[in-house]
């Protein structure tokens, strides 16, 4: 039995000798949501703030040790919930044509989605925006997110924004719906294991 124990010790030593530290790239992710309730007749124009602090906290929760190499957007969705506001007329629009614009640090606008037709059903639905996204707008968004991740934010700036504009069908009908924008954000960082 002693021989067996000795062999086990040798085995363990052999195993430990083969250990090696590795530097790997990891890709944790989180989903940022921002919502607005559209509650009016005819065309709408709503702004949603995206605060630096919210994004920073979400990234901090990923425990990346600060060595972030890249920030990417994996997907973007719009969750539409009809009749979200109470005490006002019910939704009478069958669909809406909507555009989504990113507002940068200086108020500059970058188109993310243009004239996307969204059916307004009686139940909550999630619309995948991927096939309608504009690459230039997404790149601008990535640059802003990377700046937040690097803590390289223009002095005095606390937020960027997203503007949702659109009109209902039939024209002049009443829209009562919550529009929730979901952005899946992936962070790349390097670490030793």
**29 contributes a contact to another protein by CB under 8 A:** yes
Indicate the burial class of 134 (C-beta count within 10 angstroms; 0-12, 13-18, 19 or more).
middle
- Phi, psi (5° rounding) for residue 86? -100, 160
Paired with 31 in beta bridges are: 184
Shortest approach of another protein to residue 67 CB, angstroms?
A: 11
Shortest approach of another protein to residue 99 CB, angstroms?
A: 15
Selection from 165, 176, 37 nearest residue 93 by Cα: 176
**95 contributes a contact to another protein by CB under 8 A:** no
**How many of the other CB atoms lie within 10 Å of CB of 183?**
22
3-state secondary structure of 62: coil
Residues 141-160 that bind another protein (CB under 8 A): 142
The residue length of the chain stands at: 193
- What is the size of the binding site for another protein (CB under 8 A)? 49
Nearer residue to another protein within complex by CB, 19 or 155: 19
SS (H, E, C) 71-87: EEEEEEEEEEEECCCCC
Omega before 170 within 30 of 0, i.e. cis: yes
**2 contributes a contact to another protein by CB under 8 A:** no
Q: How far is Cα 104 from Cα 62, in angstroms, rounded to an integer?
A: 25
Strand 109-119 to 68-82 pairing: unpaired
Nearer residue to another protein within complex by CB, 38 or 133: 133
Q: Which residue among 1, 4, 123, 155 contacts another protein (CB under 8 A)?
A: 4
x/- binding map, residues 119-138, to another protein, per CB under 8 A?
---------x-xxxxxxxxx
**10 contributes a contact to another protein by CB under 8 A:** yes
Nearer residue to another protein within complex by CB, 26 or 153: 26
**28 contributes a contact to another protein by CB under 8 A:** yes
**73 contributes a contact to another protein by CB under 8 A:** yes
CA 191 to chain centre: 24
Nearer residue to another protein within complex by CB, 28 or 82: 28
Residues of this chain that bind another protein (CB under 8 A): 3-4, 7-8, 10-11, 14-16, 18-20, 22-31, 62-63, 70, 72-77, 128, 130-139, 142, 184, 186, 188, 191-193
């Amino acid at each position: 039995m002693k021989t067996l124990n000795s062999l086990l010790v040798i085995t363990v030593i052999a195993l430990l000798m083969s250990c090696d530290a590795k530097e790997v790239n990891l890709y944790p992710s989180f989903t940022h949501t921002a919502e607005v309730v559209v509650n009016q007749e005819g065309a709408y124009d709503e702004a949603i703030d995206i605060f630096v602090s919210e994004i920073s906290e979400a990234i901090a929760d990923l425990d990346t040790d600060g060595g972030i190499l890249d920030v990417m957007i994996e997907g973007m969705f719009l969750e539409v919930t009809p009749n979200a506001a109470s005490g006002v007329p019910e939704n009478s629009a069958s669909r809406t044509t909507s555009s989504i614009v990113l507002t940068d640090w200086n108020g500059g606008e970058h188109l993310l989605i243009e004239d996307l037709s969204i059916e307004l059903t009686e139940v909550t639905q999630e619309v995948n925006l991927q096939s309608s996204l504009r690459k230039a707008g997404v790149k601008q968004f990535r640059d802003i997110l990377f700046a937040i991740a690097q803590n390289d934010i223009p002095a005095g700036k606390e937020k960027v924004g997203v503007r949702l504009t659109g009109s209902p069908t039939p024209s002049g009908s009443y829209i009562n719906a919550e529009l929730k924008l979901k952005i899946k954000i992936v962070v790349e960082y390097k670490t030793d294991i």
